[in-house]
Amino acid sequence: MTNRKIILLAALCALVLGAIAYYQYRHGKPRFDWDDSWNKKAYKESNTEPYGTQVLHQLLKGYFPDFKRIDITSNVGEELPRDSTGQKAANYVFVGEAMYLDSLSTARLLEFVQSGHTALISSKTIPFDLMFHLYYEECQGNAWDDYSSVEDSLVTLSLVQPVLASNAVQCYYSRQNRIGTYNWHYIDLDHFCRDLPQTPLGHVNDHINFAEFPYGKGKFLLHTTPIALTNFSLLRPDVRKYAEGVLSHLTPGDIYWDALSRVPEAVGRRRNNRDGYNRGLHDEHPLQYVLQQPALAWAWYMLVAMAGIWLFFRGKRRQRIIPVLAKNENSSYQFIGTIANLHFRERNYRGLCQQNMRLFLARIRERYGLVAPMDAATGAVRIDADFVQRLSVTSEVPATQIEEIFRQYAATVQYEPTEDMAVQLYLAMEKFWKEK
């Protein structure tokens, strides 16, 4: 078998093995993402996985045919309608693990409901800043301590009004179509009493998971089982009827969908328990109102920028003077000059001429990058017409003048040089550097 056939056979085997591995990977990988944790962005309206809320989000778009669904994208405190005089009732809907509202958004939501609108909040925990107003008067001293929970694999959901056909809807938490245990949250019965207006609207097993908290002319609908409003639940006919019963408590009007305030359950609970804990979200600060107003925010940014510019130029003026460092010099020139002076005093004119030529060639090599080797034994310089021409072009000194320098030096090598010959060679070199 030739090498070409061996290579083709190996490539074919590799292709078949790759196809088998890809097939195993595709069929071994779960078709859906069943993770309902925050890292997988559960309850997100654009999430088509089992625990996303795309189905509910699309359902609310045409829930009231004569009204529209509005997605809050920037700030709850700014996008909820402010002046409700003469306006029809509207709805605020939130579905998620937990919610975060700053003080301005909380006040705006309370004002929104107080003027006659409805707010449906389906979450596993509720902000204490909000419940401080909804549960201001306590039932027999039972202070609000967030939702409670019970762990179970299968629960029964029911509504007081409207009553479902069987009045019992089975709901469960599933992973890979396998039922697993889950923490089902509920509102403790101790938070309901005859003297206060809040009323239960639904149950999970024997616990209250859906209740109405009137506030002003409107009402808050608190729902503790957001998993019942996810894609996985709404695709089941029985649970879908339960979800429709929950949504039936909304009033006909525009629906404001709030995905901006959605945060992980752990963050919501830690924020409620502020004592001894550094909140996961930024604490409110005096600049929060300033930064939320465009005009004030721009004024603040300009003030900070001007202060930064002033500090920059002030620091530049008062900066210590940087000392000027002396330029690095080639000490080899000084050494050669010293040796030349020594030869001159000793009347060693041949050595003097050789040292001057070494200095001359070193400067040419450093400045123009042209190398003319010098024989150490005889002291002769090996040059040719091409070297002279390139040096003439580079230094802009006539070639005849360059040839005269090397001619005079060659004479000092060939014959015994005199003082006059050494002086003439030195003057010719000096003339070269002055005319270059």
Cβ neighbours, 10 Å, residue 406? 19
Q: Does pLDDT of 294 surpass 60? A: yes
Count of residues in the chain: 436
- pLDDT at position 42, please? 80
Instruction: Provide the Cα torsion 194, 195, 200, 206; round to 10°.
Output: -50
Report the relative pairing of strands 91-95 and 118-122 from DSSP bridges.
parallel
For residues 278 and 291, state if they share a domain: no
Q: Would 15 be classed as within a structural domain? A: no
- pLDDT at position 184, please? 93
Q: Does pLDDT of 56 surpass 50? A: yes
Q: Does pLDDT of 33 surpass 90? A: no
Q: What is the mean pLDDT of residues 232-258?
A: 90
Q: How far apart are CA 89 and CA 115, in angstroms?
A: 9
Look at 23 and 215; give whichever has higher pLDDT.
Answer: 215
Q: Would 152 be classed as within a structural domain? A: yes
165-201 residue pLDDT tens: 666 788 888 876 778 888 999 999 999 988 889 999 9
Rg of the chain taking only CA atoms, in angstroms: 45
- Total number of domains in the chain: 3
- pLDDT at position 180, please? 84
Q: What is the mean pLDDT of residues 354-373?
A: 85
Q: Does pLDDT of 22 surpass 80? A: no
- pLDDT at position 3, please? 67
Ranges 6-20, 114-128, 177-191, 261-275, most confident: 114-128
Q: Would 24 be classed as within a structural domain? A: no
Q: Would 299 be classed as within a structural domain? A: yes
- pLDDT at position 366, please? 87
- pLDDT at position 328, please? 64
Q: What is the mean pLDDT of residues 105-127?
A: 93
Q: Would 14 be classed as within a structural domain? A: no
For residues 341 and 265, state if they share a domain: no
For residues 198 and 227, state if they share a domain: yes
| Residue 373 Cα to chain centre, angstroms | 62
In which band, very low, low, confident or very high, does the pLDDT at 268 lie, cut at 50, 70 and 90?
Answer: confident
- pLDDT at position 78, please? 85
For residues 215 and 128, state if they share a domain: yes
Q: What is the DSSP letter of 370?
A: -
- pLDDT at position 292, please? 62
The b/e string for 224-246 (b: 16+ C-beta within 10 A; e otherwise) is bbbbbbbbbbbebeebbebbebb
For residues 244 and 291, state if they share a domain: no
What are the strands, taking DSSP E only, across 105-153? 118-122, 148-152
For residues 215 and 249, state if they share a domain: yes
Q: What is the mean pLDDT of residues 128-141?
A: 88
Q: Would 157 be classed as within a structural domain? A: yes
For residues 218 and 201, state if they share a domain: yes
- pLDDT at position 331, please? 53
**DSSP string for residues in 233-258:** HHTSHHHHHHHHHHHTTSPSS-EEEE
For residues 247 and 375, state if they share a domain: no
In which band, very low, low, confident or very high, does the pLDDT at 213 lie, cut at 50, 70 and 90?
Answer: very high
Q: What is the mean pLDDT of residues 152-172?
A: 83
Q: What is the mean pLDDT of residues 218-239?
A: 91
Joined tokens for residue 184? 């089902």
In which band, very low, low, confident or very high, does the pLDDT at 355 lie, cut at 50, 70 and 90?
Answer: confident
For residues 375 and 419, state if they share a domain: yes
Share of the chain above pLDDT 70, in %: 81
Q: Which domain holds residue 367?
A: 331-435
Averaged pLDDT of the chain = 81
- pLDDT at position 96, please? 92
Asked if residue 52 lies in contact with residue 234, where contact means CB atoms within 8 angstroms, the answer is no
In which band, very low, low, confident or very high, does the pLDDT at 286 lie, cut at 50, 70 and 90?
Answer: low
Q: Would 325 be classed as within a structural domain? A: no
For residues 101 and 239, state if they share a domain: yes
In which band, very low, low, confident or very high, does the pLDDT at 275 lie, cut at 50, 70 and 90?
Answer: very low
Q: What is the mean pLDDT of residues 49-63?
A: 88
For residues 78 and 201, state if they share a domain: yes
- pLDDT at position 73, please? 86
| Residue 41 Cα to chain centre, angstroms | 17
- pLDDT at position 167, please? 67
Q: How far apart are CA 238 and CA 236, in angstroms?
A: 6
For residues 154 and 70, state if they share a domain: yes
Share of the chain above pLDDT 90, in %: 25
Q: Does pLDDT of 266 surpass 70? A: yes
Q: Would 31 be classed as within a structural domain? A: no
Q: Does pLDDT of 279 surpass 60? A: no
In which band, very low, low, confident or very high, does the pLDDT at 284 lie, cut at 50, 70 and 90?
Answer: low
Q: What is the mean pLDDT of residues 24-44?
A: 58
